[in-house]
A = this chain, B = another copy of it.
Amino acid sequence: MLATIAEVDGGGAVMILDQNRLPHETAFVRLNTLSDAAHAIRVMQVRGAPLIGATAAYGVALGLAEGQSLDLILATLAATRPTAVNLHWALARMERVLEKSALAGRQQLAWEEARAIAREDAAANAAIGQHGLPLLQAIAARQGKINVMTHCNAGWLATVAHGTALAPIYAAHNAGLTVHVWVSETRPRNQGLLTAWELAQAGVPHTLIVDNAAGLLLIQSKVDCVIVGADRIAANGDTANKVGTYLKALAARAHGVPFHVAAPVSTIDFACPDGAHIPIEERDPAELGASSAGMGTAIANPAFDVTPAGLIAGIITERGIIPSYQLATVKP
């Protein structure tokens, strides 16, 4: 069984699955230093909000082992990517634990806390799968086959294990339900291919489409529900996720199809009042691969958009499905 992230050498380094080389190639990268960890997050060798959080936590441990100052470590990792709040959540948790400890004990404590974050992420996602399962069981009870649409990759590749949006799908498949997944390409970085690869490995039937095709499938009644992950959920339930998510939410609403977000509570930013306050990462125009565009063609490449809470039927968390306007009930 592959894993997205794992300690090696008894805790002196971390091995990650290089997601920039998937699905063509299954290759691993060894992270030895803070700089290795920051680079892996920035260039998206690891991606997905929960996995970014876990990688950042291990990055703190790697930085301390190098003798770097905690302030520098936290600042370096915080600057890697702006939108996924799990990054900041994990760094804040590491800081909280470490600043209470004497300098001598910090190194060991950092490894233990990073390990705990990773372990808890896996457990949270398994619980998300179980809490989301009844949604799919209800569809199966009504009509047999279940057609789920997702966007980007919110599977085990985006987390430490199990995935978020794909966790209920894996749970349904493992429970013997007939589930088929519409996988959208997710331009510009084509994380849909990661989702297709994951689902193929697990034997879950699925069909790849261009992002543009989502509306037609809804017109044709070929989608029973939409489940996506999240990079940051504001306190009012507005949800930032991979750019294009909002278009799917609008289309789902237009056709009366439920749209759910699946994410651990660590993805909820209780300090962020609403979607307008979520920073949207602008990435390198080169990601579009449009070097052939005309001279004088500008390129914009925002990586996320924000789906308003009102379009979200519920947020599937490890504590159950929470209506988007009741997030305060799970505030730690």
**Residue of B at shortest CB range from A208?**
B299
- Please provide the 10 A-B residue pairs with the shortest distance between their CB atoms, ordered closest to farther: A200-B294, A212-B244, A215-B246, A216-B305, A207-B298, A187-B210, A197-B294, A200-B296, A196-B297, A247-B247
A-B contact list, 15 entries, CB within 8 Å: A185-B187, A187-B212, A193-B292, A196-B290, A199-B297, A200-B297, A206-B297, A206-B298, A207-B297, A207-B299, A209-B302, A210-B288, A213-B243, A215-B247, A216-B243
Q: How distant is the Cα of A193 from the Cα of B183 in the complex, in angstroms?
A: 24
| Residue interface bits A147-189, CB-to-B below 8 A is 1, else 0 | 0000000000000000000000000000000000001011110
Q: Which residues of B contact A203 (CB under 8 A)?
A: 296
In the complex where A187-B185, A210-B288, A292-B24 touch, is A250 in contact with B297 (Cβ < 8 A)?
no
Further pairs besides A215-B247, A216-B280: 11, Cβ < 8 Å: A185-B288, A187-B187, A188-B210, A193-B292, A199-B294, A207-B298, A210-B288, A212-B243, A213-B302, A215-B243, A216-B246
Verify if A102 is at the interface (C-beta below 8 Å from B). Answer: no
Across the interface, do A213 and B300 meet the contact criterion of CB distance under 8 Å? yes
Closest Cβ of chain B to A257, distance in Å, is 13
Closest to A287 in B: B210
**B297 close to A210 (CB less than 8 A):** no
Say if the beta carbon of A306 comes within 8 Å of chain B: yes
How many Å lie between the Cα of A295 and that of B288 in the bound state? Answer: 26
Establish whether residues A186 and B212, one from each chain, have CB atoms under 8 Å apart when the complex forms.
yes
Is A79 positioned at the interface, with any CB of B under 8 Å from its CB?
no
Q: How long is the Cα–Cα vector from A183 to B187 in the complex, in angstroms? A: 15
Main SS of chain A's interface residues? mixed
Q: Is A201 an interface residue (CB 8 A)?
A: yes
Chain A contact-residue range equals: 35 or more
Number of copies: 2
**Residues of A bordering B, CB below 8 Å:** 23-24, 183, 185-188, 193, 196-201, 203, 205-216, 219, 242-244, 246-247, 250-251, 254, 280, 288, 290, 292-302, 304-306
Q: A280-B216, A297-B200 are in contact. Are A185 and B290 (CB under 8 A)?
A: yes
Pairwise interchain contact A295-B215, C-beta atoms closer than 8 A: no
> Given the interface contacts A185-B187, A288-B210, does A293 sit within 8 Å of B23 by beta carbon?
yes
Q: Which residue of B lies closest to A216 (CB)?
A: B305
A302 touches B211 (CB 8 A): no
Chain B min CB distance to A6 (Å): 22
Enumerate chain B residues within 8 angstroms of A199, measured Cβ to Cβ. 294, 297
In the complex, chain B residues whose CB is within 8 Å of the CB of A198: 294
The winner among A208, A216, A306 for most chain B CB atoms within 10 A is: A216
Partner of A219, one of B23, B24, B288, B306: B306
Which B residue sits closest to A210, measured CB to CB? B187
Give the interface centre of A24, A188, A205 by most chain B CB atoms within 10 Å: A188
Inter-chain CA distance A306–B297, complex, in Å, is: 29
- Are B23 and A208 neighbours in the complex by a CB distance under 8 Å? no
Q: How far is the CA of A254 from the CA of B250 in the complex (A)?
A: 8
Report the separation of the CA atoms of residues A250 and B255 in the bound assembly, to the nearest whole angstrom.
11
A304 smallest CB distance to B (angstroms): 8
Cα distance, A23 to B301, chains bound together (Å): 21
